[in-house]
Structure 1
């Protein structure tokens, strides 16, 4: 399987880490992602998470815009300046940073939701 499918809820540990579901980690490994990139979801209190191909998708959209219009500038800020890298540790965990918690409202548990080529994390 090479897509992020299904959903699961995991608890955050005392150090602010959460285990990424095994089937999501398998996709990460199969795709050869060395780290993940997380962007704020525009219409939900969630984060879109994937490899750099997720960022490529946004950059392709930006390239279609007139670079002198505010829309292109806003989109560039959104995907280049308002995202964060997530590193999987040796146990398959990521840290729920303040940046992520503030946007999503995540406190004790994280919902991992597959979206095909990427996944989302919700409260």
Structure 2
């Protein structure tokens, strides 16, 4: 498996850590990702997590813009001001920091959501509601699986 797929909900332990699902850890190992880039999502109350390539992809897009343009300035504000680096501990746990909690509303459980080349962490109810809305939009457009 070379993609982050599916979703899983895990409880936060007493020290504020949560176990990243084994399938997600396997993708991180397969891709050689040790340092994680965490970015507040632009649309959803979720934090995107991937390797340094996630940051680099956005920075390449920014580099194509006029560095003095408002769009590049806003993108930097979101990418650099709304992002941090993190690492999993030896047991594959992620520290659920205030950076994550404040943006997502996560308190006691974390929903991990696969997004192909990265994954997200959500407050579980917020994820299920957003997924239901997305399913309804797709249904209204007449798209089928």
* TMscore range, shorter length: over 0.9
Q: Distance in 2 between matches of 1:63 and 1:35?
A: 23
Which residue of 2 is the match for residue 50 of structure 1?
Answer: 50
Q: Please give the secondary structure, in 1, of the residue aligned with 2:90.
A: coil
Which residue of 2 is the match for residue 13 of structure 1?
Answer: 13
Q: Which has the higher strand share?
A: 1
Map Cα deviations across residues 55-87 of structure 1 (whole Å, 9 max, x no partner).
111112101211111210121122123211121
**TM-score computed with the length of structure 1 as normaliser:** 0.96
**TM-score computed with the length of structure 2 as normaliser:** 0.82
Aligned length: 123
The higher-RCO structure (CA 8 Å, 6+ apart) is 1
Structure showing greater Rg: 2
Q: Which has the higher helix share?
A: 2
Q: Distance in 1 between matches of 2:23 and 2:94?
A: 15
Q: Distance in 1 between matches of 2:86 and 2:106?
A: 16
Which residue of 2 is the match for residue 35 of structure 1?
Answer: 35
- Moved >4 Å (runs of 4+): none
Over aligned residue pairs, what C-alpha RMSD do you find? 0.8
